[in-house]
Structure 1
């Protein structure tokens, strides 16, 4: 058995794709060996696993174990975390049973691979967001779907989110008066994306914009937060001419990165786009968490501002037609629960753009394992011809 597992580990380290395939194969093998009783407890205790991992994060337990070069006793861990000894023992015993920590000896524990993952800042932020904000929506989803007759939601004020938090506000408005939840969300969003994995690695920016006018908009990042995309664009293409503009709501723009050459503009994306005829209008992870009507409204606002040479760059997940992985399928269900929105296949994206009179010209995938892609969207040729006349 050990020899077989070592071989799997060697194969899994060959590439990110082979690692993902190995994980799926091993999980499917484990599932195929389950008894009904084991299946019952695996699903039945999933919420408990998330809860105890959150306790570990709150106590900085995982960091404590990772920072120690030797196993620690329950008493030592108790003293470092401030948790009462008997309780600490029970928590550690449970976490060891699910592989979150390792039990090295009687009443002694140490970090393993999963522990080190759990001590990462992005994992701490993400799990805190999921447990405190997303999990209540998941709990409410069965009742919500029963009550709406098992239909796809289309109204972002009538989702599992409103049922979970007993509110009539959509999630964005609710966040404004719930700063603790907003802090978890912002911390996760700031950390979750690898800056080295970017659409800039695949899209032919120079070929499209080499002769662009200095007076016109070059890169308009709509809903761009505090400006990471603008900063990356400016760093990679310092010699390209044209305005680079960050657009977001005032509270985000107020915290914008001080990037030379980037204009910061307070703008509500659901209002008329003030910069006309720009080369690139850029949306990253914006459309997937908007309801269908809001997606339409936002796209129509951008379309009205586009010129014959303009390109709308939509950076989103583009799902395959089959065998969607667990992470992407989970994100899709989260969008359903919180925003009455969805992740889409290329055909669904194409239909979304065509509905407002735009054309998906090409899809550039830059992170295949996560389906992350940038879509080149333009005015149809017929509209460009009439525009030029």
Structure 2
């Protein structure tokens, strides 16, 4: 070190990077900082032309992953994982013309989705294995088929603020919103719903921070409405609540559109009720009205209507439980910020909505006649339960 500056030692850095690639587990304790610095270093070292190429071709990893999945490139490589697979065999299996396949495989190798051990001889990589896992297959289908046209229309939407359509509706040339559109696109609907369920399967949930029987079901009779899952889809959270607290006393009610309730997975111990959350809530005085990922699909004006429809139903013992991300007002560093920032843009593209910061939640609920009693965070990505009551 000279003059307070760290002496550059490229050879040492290269050795450390090779060690990291060979044994990433040894660097796990500093994982987030290393990733952040590695990205900054890559950008700092790029020539302007390289920066341009990175930006303009940025959609291609998702697009080529979708092509490779759909044409079974990864599956074919994994079937022959004990030996390389030739380009000729891949052309036969995929039905892609050899000349076109050559360009595709060349790009896939640059993204480490495929390995080339010798000219025209290919092997699977760690990423190949990931991309055939159900979660990754569904994620790629969802973001490629459902979200990519919406992302592409985002700039047009922002340039035409008076256009009432969402970027999703513009990009898909759809007269209906995303959820209605899914009803006539079963492949994309299946991928979306499976992805939404699977991506959270290994993470904590609201039930890890809420002791529901003690907090909301004390002295409840069998006829006491204790849990109303508003817009609850096919009832995953009702099932999770019953599984977590099997001896729970009181009525559990699942509300959604009739077409959605037809696919519900709940048993006879859960009441199914067709309901539009923009109309007055018919269940009065329930202990808890639960909303999971409803508000981030809607702009502030629509959220105010949802809350106004609920407010008259609340009794003195009622709370509203909002299961959503609560982003900090002060932006922390780390890779989680990239994820939540991208997710917020996805909400903008799909619904003209956003992920909200704590101050935005407090204003939204305060303006609607509620006050926040507490916010219980249960993941490192801001997933939280907002407990609110009538003012």
Spell out the pairing of 1:344-359 with structure 2 (5 A cutoff): 344-359=356-371
Spell out the pairing of 1:302-317 with structure 2 (5 A cutoff): 302-317=310-325
What TM-score do you get using the length of structure 2 for normalisation? 0.87
User: What secondary structure sits across from 2:369 in the alignment?
Assistant: coil
Deviation at 1:332, TM superposition (A): 0.8
Q: 1:328 to 1:196 in 2, by over 3 A?
A: closer
Output one character per residue of 1:142-192: Cα deviation in whole Å (capped at 9) or x when no partner: 2322233xxxx8x8x333233323345433444445555444433433433
- 1:272 lines up with 2:280 in the alignment: yes
2:130, 2:220 → 1: CA distance?
Answer: 45
- 1:23 lines up with 2:31 in the alignment: no
Give the gaps of 5 or more residues in structure 2.
1-13
- 1:245 lines up with 2:245 in the alignment: no
Note if contact 1:63-1:119 (Cα within 8 Å) is conserved in structure 2. yes
User: What secondary structure sits across from 1:325 in the alignment?
Assistant: helix
Deviation at 1:30, TM superposition (A): 1.6
Spell out the pairing of 1:179-328 with structure 2 (5 A cutoff): 179-194=186-201, 196-208=203-215, 209-259=217-267, 261-321=269-329, 322-323=331-332, 325-328=337-340
Moved more, 322-331 or 182-191: 182-191
Note if contact 2:203-2:379 (Cα within 8 Å) is conserved in structure 1. no
Match of 2:382 in 1: 371
Note if contact 2:238-2:266 (Cα within 8 Å) is conserved in structure 1. no
Spell out the pairing of 1:330-349 with structure 2 (5 A cutoff): 330-349=342-361
Spell out the pairing of 1:88-237 with structure 2 (5 A cutoff): 88-148=101-161, 157-194=164-201, 196-208=203-215, 209-237=217-245
Q: 1:45 to 1:233 in 2, by over 3 A?
A: same
Deviation at 1:138, TM superposition (A): 1.7
Structural RMSD (CA): 2.3
Q: 1:39 to 1:196 in 2, by over 3 A?
A: closer
2:242, 2:268 → 1: CA distance?
Answer: 9
Output one character per residue of 1:212-266: Cα deviation in whole Å (capped at 9) or x when no partner: 2321111111111111111110001111211112111111111111435222222
Match of 1:84 in 2: 97
1:196, 1:137 → 2: CA distance?
Answer: 28
1:95, 1:126 → 2: CA distance?
Answer: 18
Match of 2:9 in 1: none
User: What secondary structure sits across from 1:32 in the alignment?
Assistant: helix
Deviation at 1:121, TM superposition (A): 1.4
Output one character per residue of 1:8-55: Cα deviation in whole Å (capped at 9) or x when no partner: 8235534xxx54443223222222221111110001001233221211
How many residues end up aligned between the 2 structures? 370
1:195, 1:341 → 2: CA distance?
Answer: 27
User: What secondary structure sits across from 1:375 in the alignment?
Assistant: strand
Deviation at 1:5, TM superposition (A): 5.0
User: What secondary structure sits across from 1:316 in the alignment?
Assistant: strand
1:90, 1:279 → 2: CA distance?
Answer: 60
User: What secondary structure sits across from 2:378 in the alignment?
Assistant: strand
2:386, 2:72 → 1: CA distance?
Answer: 41
What TM-score do you get using the length of structure 1 for normalisation? 0.87
Q: 1:195 to 1:335 in 2, by over 3 A?
A: same
Moved more, 65-74 or 108-117: 65-74
User: What secondary structure sits across from 2:321 in the alignment?
Assistant: strand
Match of 1:361 in 2: 373
2:95, 2:139 → 1: CA distance?
Answer: 24
